Amino acid sequence: MSDHEHDSHSLRNYFWVWGWLFVLSVCSYVVDISPINQMLKWVLITVFMFLKAGMIMHVFMHLQLERLSLVTMVIVPPAVMLFALFVFGFEGTHIENVRENFFLNIEFTRTEAG
Amino acid sequence: MAESASQETPPPGLTGVISDWSSDQTTFKGAGWGKPMMWLFILSDIFIFGMFLLGYMVARLSTPDPWPDPAEVFALTMFGVQIPLLLIAIMTFILISSSGTMALAVKYGYERNRKVCGRLILATAALGAIFLGMQAFEWWILISDGVRPWGNPWGAAQFGATFFLITGFHGTHVTIGVILLLYMYRKVMRGDLEEGRPGAITGRKGRWEMVEIAGLYWHFVDLVWVFIFAFFYLW
């Protein structure tokens, strides 16, 4: 345990993560301004985002040194929120359709009625 | 019997999770109380920001109006050239750097290197303050462009509401973090953590773990920015 702790507190480790955070940020910026396919863009940006978040939590916030009880307490509840992401995703698209189909032409119906 | 059980090193892995939670004792073995409490606070804050980002997603999905393109909205004109997202990119690098200096401060804190730890904390606070200044500048640009919580010149009215809410809430967290770090800098440099001197607000004795707990909060602020940067500015 103490050996492992010493290893993960080494300067090299922190600078390595620091450097990668820079590289991944540059990558996501380059992806954003490059003229590639929009879907691929979103996928890449999300992948880079999760890599950065993982490195910050694993190394900078020392989750690699904590017991699994604490790690699961931190990771599992936000992961459950991903379910809400899908639910709200469907809902948002549905509301947009409703607005497109029934509300954007409201002036038209009004003039017809009056 | 009970004594020998508490002295055993708890098992690792998933068996450890079950035995920790069912031990009828402190759940988070060997973590003190300060660190788990900060993690619980961070967890609750993750929910707040998570819900903000989900709300932003619903607002953006459900509006039939076109969403303003962040690459154009946040572009800066430098030397006659329009560079997209320049200010945001610089802000991102500053916040990442502050996270790096904070990680090093925690490292030197554990090595009981008072001077280096204190200076790194001060550097972190300074970078945080620069970030805040740039965010104020960004708000100023947007407000002069006519962005309001109820509308903007480019498209969907929800853009302004979500922008001011999310970045404003994050900026508040950075502000609190900078104040916390300046307070911690004073404690470290004065030697409060070595002497166990009682704090001015809670009266609790100074411990070196405090630097790590302040660090957890600061890294969390950076973590939130990673998500805001991706979802709000890049998507």
> Mutate which of B44, B62, B67, B83 to test chain A, going by most A C-beta atoms within 10 A?
B62
pLDDT tens-digit map of B101-133? 999 999 999 999 999 999 999 999 999 999 999
Residues in chain B with CB shorter than 8 Å from the CB of A78 are 43, 46-47, 50
Which one-letter DSSP state was computed for residue A64? G
A50-59, A98-107, B183-192, range with the lowest pLDDT: A98-107
Q: For residue B173, how many other CB atoms are within 10 A of its CB?
A: 19
The Cα-based distances of B62 to A16, A80, A101, B19, B50 in angstroms read: 41, 23, 12, 46, 18
| Region A46-75 average pLDDT | 92
Collapsing DSSP to helix, strand or coil, B76 comes out as strand
pLDDT at B149 over 90: yes
Strand partners for B77: B82
Domain boundaries, chain B: 34-234
Residues in chain A with CB shorter than 8 Å from the CB of B30 are 67
As its CATH architecture, domain B34-234 has Up-down Bundle (1.20)
pLDDT at B4: 47
Please state, in angstroms and rounded to a whole number, the distance separating the CA atoms of residues A29 and A24: 9
| Confidence (pTM) | 0.90
Helix (H), strand (E) counts: chain A: 5, 0
pLDDT at B219: 96
Strand partners for B198: B205
Collapsing DSSP to helix, strand or coil, B217 comes out as helix
Closest CA to B68 of B195, B154, B172, B162: B154
Q: Which helix (H) or strand (E) holds A61?
A: none
What residues 4-63 of chain B have any CB closer than 8 A to a CB of chain A? 10, 12-14, 16-17, 20-21, 27-31, 36, 39-40, 42-43, 46-47, 50, 54, 57-63
Domain boundaries, chain A: 1-65, 68-114
| Region B34-39 average pLDDT | 93
Residue carrying the six token digits 């154009």: B72
> Mutate which of A30, A69, A98 to test chain B, going by most B C-beta atoms within 10 A?
A69
Determine contact, residues B176/B92, Cβ cutoff 8 Å. Answer: no
Which residue type does B27 have? T
ipTM of the shown complex: 0.89
Q: Which residue from B minimizes the CA distance to A22?
A: B93
Helix (H), strand (E) counts: chain B: 9, 2
Report the share of chain B in percent with pLDDT over 70: 97
